[in-house]
Amino acid sequence: MRTLLIALLLVPVSSSAICLNPFGCEPKTEAECIKEAASAKTEAAAKAMIAECRKLPRVTLSQCKVAEKQWAQYLSSRGGVEWDWSERSLKYECKKNFPATFSPALWVTSSYCEKNAARLAQAENEVDSTSLKSVRLEQARRKAPELIDLDDWQVIDVLQSVYYRDKSKAELAASVFIDAPPEPLSVAAECKRLAAGASAK
């Protein structure tokens, strides 16, 4: 039991204040919940608590709101290129738990749409409209079953290290339309919304 408690206390957690809001507070994150499991009286109780903790999100909506502002600023300054943004895993967790976050509307402008109209039009053939996945990456997965369980960024890592050493990972990500911009069909839809709004004025 002592070993388990020590392991639990070593789990990295974000600092959080005691909730005193009478109207409710954000639910605990998985890490915060696991930290509380360390106070369980028995090992069995701790394990049961941890199992329930695993069902909680790893992020809060507040954390995601802060991250999406940073993301929008980054994409605005980089012309829609996400590759070097260091918090892509955080974005993934946020979108999984809070789908409305990280909307292209936060950074896409009419100017961007005009400059990248040809690429966004090409994306309609390069990205599956139902799954929103890269057509070429899905073809690669079908040809190489060992890629099936890897996410898009991991597949890029493999392709670059094995087949395309003359290209950067950022170039490969752009060539298969998972970046520059990320989620190009959503960006294209935002461009159409902006254009409709401009024509209605």
pLDDT tens across 130-156, in order?
999 999 999 999 999 899 999 999 999
Domain limits, the chain: 1-8+28-56, 61-200
Average pLDDT score over residue span 116-134: 97
pTM value? 0.74
CB 185 within 8 A of CB 124: yes
Question: How does pLDDT run across 152-190, given as a tens digit for each residue?
Answer: 999 999 999 999 999 999 999 999 999 999 999 999 999
- What per-residue string of b and e applies to 43-68 under the rule 16 or more CB within 10 Å gives b? eeebeebbeebeebbbbbeebbeebb
Percent over 70 (pLDDT), the chain? 82
Q: What is the average per-residue pLDDT within 87-94?
A: 93
The 8-class DSSP code of residue 179 comes to S
